[in-house]
Chains A and B, each alone.
Chain A
Amino acid sequence: MTAMPTNHAAVHLEVQLSSIKRDPVLIGLWIALVAVALVWVAPFVFIVFTSLKTPAAVTSTGAFVPPTELAFENYSAAWSRGNFANSFLNSVIITVIKVPLGLFLSAMAAYALAKIRLKITKALLLLVVFGTMIPFQVMLAPLFTLVNSFGLIDTYPGVILPYIAFGVPYQVFILHGFFRGIPKELSEAALIDGANHFTIFRRIFLPVCLPVLAALLILDFVSTWNEFAMALVLLQDQRMWTLPLGLMSFQGQFSSNYGQLNAAIVMTVLPATIVYLIFQRYFVSGLTSGAVKG
């Protein structure tokens, strides 16, 4: 997408020249965009500043006045009062198991749907696409009943399995589209040489789709890390809580301690933000490969 065909090079240059000529429309646009962007980052600035202010400074200084003395003790206090070590560990364990496992299972299924002809392929594919659209928020109560009947409430598998189930449709959908685009000759040659589909999947298709897998991995990391509604229903015991649940409860208990509350927000949001800032490129490609053909 980034490489422009050569016959566009001239136009490319022209566009650059026209922006050098300081097109007034573009300048106006730029000023408007920066203004909107400032509004968009303002909440982050406000949260970070507040998280570093002492209780006295929160009530006496303005919203965008930087803290004079950095009250890092807000972070350590929130960390221990909100039992964050525990919920952080739970979030890490659930995410680290769920994301690669779910993606691998999805890739297997997507390969079979794309490259092995079965009578039911079309029906299965429709079922999968349908799954990308159904809101799990509607099924929280029956999900609780189901997981409870397996005796898995307040366990890691009890939340990982539903997470995988609701991640499968989107991932299979994307990977299926990708696998289908890989030329038949590649797998047929290997089949004639006597390789079975497991080998072809592992040796040819997985390596080829690494960039897509990376995009899906990062996207899935963030949505698993952030998931709240299912965890709320399936993890009742405080010792099993994930970070979003811990933050919610912290807000309920210590909402008047603004510095610590905002420190808790920053700590919850930071891992996903760091992952996003590092892997920005993959996010966009992962999101758009499914929804819009690029």
Chain B
Amino acid sequence: MLRIFNKIRRTGRLTETIPSPDQAVVELGATCQKAIAARFGGSLAIRMVDAGSCNACELEMHAVNNSFYDIERFGIHFVASPRHADLLLVTGVVSRNMQAALKRTYAAMPSPKLVVAMGDCAACGGEFGETYASCGPVANVIPVDAVIPGCPPTPLQLLQGLLELLQVAPK
């Protein structure tokens, strides 16, 4: 137990001590936090759905929760149920086999709801496009409020994309 405490003490608070790229995170997050405070009563709940991704977007989504980005400090958190969600974050082209599941998840969310298509596949079809197996980009299946391009978008791009949406989306 002491070894664990010691390790935690020595690791320190990464969120504040790392220079340059993380400074951008802090600034971006602060602006984001204001928007969230104004529009969502202080917290933004995200439900993610992988509709046909290769899992790269999910890996980067996990990364925004690590100590360096720590997205939760800005009031943004991932929730288990669409019924608790303000925003649906969709990755991947929408496979035919996930079309119904995506639509049902969307339908289960309370209004007002926002949809963000994360990554090139979700935004425009990427390498997979529209085929016998894929419905193509997310906008072909449910209304999309914003896209975050990238293959996959970096954690910083993900945060930036969310901020832009919060600034421009109609209330």
Q: Do A and B come from one complex?
A: no
Residues on B lying within 8 angstroms of A by beta carbon are: none
A residues contacting B by CB (< 8 A) are none
